[in-house]
Every structure is written in structure tokens, then in C-alpha cells.
Structure 1
Amino acid sequence: MTVAAHDQKALMDGVYAFHRHFYDFTRRFYLFGRDRLVRNLAPPPGGTVLEVGCGTARNLIVAAKMWPEARFHGFDISEAMLETARKSVARQGLAGKISLAQGDAGNFDTRALFGLEKVDRIFMSYTLSMIPPWQEAIERGAASLAPGGSLHIVDFGQYERLPGFLKRLHFKSLNDFHVFPRRELPAVLKRVAEEQGLSLEFTPLYRGYTWSAVLGRP
């Protein structure tokens, strides 16, 4: 693990050592678009699905129940979050369906983590706004796609069609928890799509509160 990754792990473990116990309850009120992302995954039967920055495994559990014929994997840099994730997965009877590991979103290797050469579906749900190497995470995720695969992203937008004071208040609150919505996300997605020969769908949701995107490999 690099020095930067080690520092990020320590930060996230510190932030969520206590907060992880009620993380899912609180996030349901403002992390919009997560279930929409899961519904759109549509992995092929027997296909592989990977969540980058899986946190408590809430999304993986929803996805595994929705798409029971696929195989699911997730990693997170925070061991505190993974401890909660493992317990949640086991409680739902999905330990044989969902594999979890510790990894750095900016420098992950699907083969080293899970023995996967390529992945059919990769998703990042409110992860990019929390990790410093967010552009590298997109690049690596796109490069890890199997032919016909897709990378699905949902994260905070820039409140394009919402009052400015709401943006200032919410962004201040997010920043206090080391969350930084990425204004440059559309441009970075366009660049990655062009460099790797991918299709790109970009959709602002809820008047710009949330941004949704899909990168697809032919």
C-alpha cells in the first residue's frame, strides 16, 4: 500500500469507526440514484459484478438479490467498513455470493483481489467524491471491463438547476466528512471514453443533485 493509500485508509477508518454503525440509515435520505444504478446493471447470467468502494456492502446486497445469477465482488480501503460489510453479507445469507477484500480504488487489480481478468459490470456509488485518486479509479475501472462490459457511476452533481444557497449549505456539510463533489467529472468521463474507445451516457438527475453515467465497452 502506498503512503497516500495508507493515509487515506487511516482517515476513512477514523471517520467511520463509529459512524459505520448507522451509516446506511442516514444515507438513505440523501444518496439518491443508488437503486436506479443497481436496476440498470443487468449483468449477463453467470457474469461478474464489482463495486469499487463498497462500504457497508449495502449496494452489493441489493444487487445480489436483484441479479441472483451473477457473481458479486466488492472492495474498500477502510477495514472498519469492511468489518460491517462482512457481518451484513453473512446476516443476509450471501457470504457465498459476495466476495469482499481490502483495496485502493486508485490502484486496484481485479486479478490480484479476486482472480478476475476482466469484469462484466463495475459500479462506483458515491465513491468518487470521497477518494483523492478519483480520476485514476475511473481509468482503472474502465480498463478492467470485459468486452460488452460497462462501468456505472452515480455521485453528487453540481446542483445545476437548484438554488445556490442549497448547494453551499450541502457542500459545506459534505466537506466536513471529507466528501468533495467532482465538478470536472463530465470532462474526465469524456476523456476516458475517447482514450479507451468507450461509449458514454451522462444523465443529470434530480435537477443536478445527482450525476449518473455509464461507460460501455463494445
Structure 2
Amino acid sequence: MSATAGTGDQKGLMDATYALHRHFYDFTRKFYLLGRDRLIRELAPPPGGTVLEVGCGTARNLIVAAKRWPDARFHGFDISEAMLDTARKSVAKHGLTSKITLAQGDAGAFDVNALFGLEQVDRVFMSYTLSMIPPWKEAIALGAKALAPGGSLHIVDFGQYERLPGFAKRFHFKSLNDFHVYPRADLRDVVERIAAEQGLAASFRSSLRGYSWSAELRRPA
């Protein structure tokens, strides 16, 4: 699928999938979306810096990040209007409407200037979103392209359970697939290729015996 092909279908799929689940999404996901808070702790945006979340969902991560890094400005977008409706309400409930800006956008064909009027951003992060979007490779490339000098892109997602029992992988992957979630076995290769193409430094980490994978791409200052 190209970066733009099937955008309407993907939006409809996500709206239908999360029309109900968005109401208890954050409560259930905290038990298995592991590594999100470590990613937020490692963002360390510069004072007055800009942070973008690709696929922000209910805005849970943006809210946590905005409270941890109060001197930064936060932006997030999602393809699902259902999720964004919940996100807007959550941001308002936490009194963060002046700190967090939300928009609807396609992760495979986004432009930070068109969405938020920004030329570049200091930090981009993608938390358990690449396994949910067909144009995930395009999302990484666009996120990296949006980085300001000295900026960094942070990724955490499901790994390949490489040091866990085979039955655990089969059982969990089946349940993930039922919700249109597909862990990306070639994530590391794609991250390293994009880093080489854009002149970025890349690092990769496997945690919890392969349950989660994380990566960072950094643009030279």
C-alpha cells in the first residue's frame, strides 16, 4: 500500500475498531503496552522545544509527557476521529489545551507544517503505533525528515518475542492480529536504512526478552 492509498479505508477501520474500545483503551493497554513511560522519560526536549506524537490515540502519552516536560510544546495527530474525540476531552480534563495541539492526519502522508504550522520539530515519538498502520515505513521516514538539527525520533513497539517461549508469541500475536495489530519483524532493518538515507545516527534496543523493541534516530546538531 502506498503512503496515501487506502487512507479512507484505514480511517474507517480504526473508527470502527475503537468506537467502543476508546472508552476503556487506556485502562486495558497499561498492562501490555510496556516501555511507553521510559520513552517519555528519555524524550528530554529542549526548553521551549516542540514534540510530536504520531498516532496519538487518546492522548494518554501526550498528557504524561506534557506534565513531565512542562517547558515544551506538544502536538499529536491520529487518523481516527473517534480516538481524537476522546483525546480532546482528556486533554481538556487535565487542563492542557494550551500545551497540547491535536489534529487529524494520516501517518503515512503527514506534513507538520500543514498540520501544525511547524517547519521542524525537536522530538518525534511513535508508541505502539507502527504495528497498527499499513504505511509504517513511510511514517518513520516522514518523522525523521521532520526533525530539527539535534532532534530525535523515538519508537517503542511490540518486538518478536525472540527470547520468550514460542507459545507466548503465537497466543499474543493472534490476539493482536484480531485488533489489526501486526508487530513488524523488520523494524530494525527499516530504521537503519532510513537512518542511512537521511544521515542520522540510529540505535536499537530489545527489552523484556524481546517483548518490546525500541529505536532512536538522531539528527546531528
TM-score where L is the length of structure 2: 0.98
After the TM superposition, which residues 19-38 of structure 1 pair with which residues of structure 2 at under 5 Å, given as runs? Answer: 19-38=21-40
After the TM superposition, which residues 115-194 of structure 1 pair with which residues of structure 2 at under 5 Å, given as runs? Answer: 115-194=117-196
Q: CA deviation at 1:119?
A: 0.5
Q: CA deviation at 1:21?
A: 0.1
Q: What one-letter code is carried by the residue in structure 1 that aligns with 2:13?
A: L
May I ask how many residue pairs the two structures share in their alignment?
218
Q: CA deviation at 1:201?
A: 1.0
User: Which position in structure 1 is the counterpart of 2:83?
Assistant: 81
> Does structure 1 conserve the Cα–Cα contact (< 8 Å) formed by 2:4 and 2:109?
no
Instruction: Report % sequence identity.
Output: 76
Provide Cα deviations, 1:131-190, integer angstroms capped at 9, x if missing partner: 000000000000000000000000000001100100000000000000000001000011
Q: CA deviation at 1:5?
A: 0.7
TM-score where L is the length of structure 1: 0.99
For residues 195 and 113 of structure 2, the distance between their equivalents in structure 1, rounded to whole angstroms, comes to 23
Structure 1 segments unaligned to the other structure (5+ residues): none
Q: What one-letter code is carried by the residue in structure 1 that aligns with 2:99?
A: K
- Structure 1 runs of 4+ with >4 Å offset: none
For residues 34 and 206 of structure 1, the distance between their equivalents in structure 2, rounded to whole angstroms, comes to 13
SS of the residue 1:106 aligns to: coil
SS of the residue 1:132 aligns to: coil
Q: CA deviation at 1:26?
A: 0.2
User: Which position in structure 1 is the counterpart of 2:198?
Assistant: 196
After the TM superposition, which residues 13-24 of structure 1 pair with which residues of structure 2 at under 5 Å, given as runs? Answer: 13-24=15-26
Q: What one-letter code is carried by the residue in structure 1 that aligns with 2:95?
A: G
Name the Cα RMSD after superposition: 0.9
Provide Cα deviations, 1:73-95, integer angstroms capped at 9, x if missing partner: 00000000000000000000000
User: Which position in structure 2 is the counterpart of 1:52?
Assistant: 54
User: Which position in structure 1 is the counterpart of 2:110?
Assistant: 108
For residues 91 and 3 of structure 1, the distance between their equivalents in structure 2, rounded to whole angstroms, comes to 35
Structure 2 segments unaligned to the other structure (5+ residues): none
For residues 121 and 3 of structure 1, the distance between their equivalents in structure 2, rounded to whole angstroms, comes to 27
For residues 111 and 2 of structure 1, the distance between their equivalents in structure 2, rounded to whole angstroms, comes to 18
Q: CA deviation at 1:3?
A: 4.9
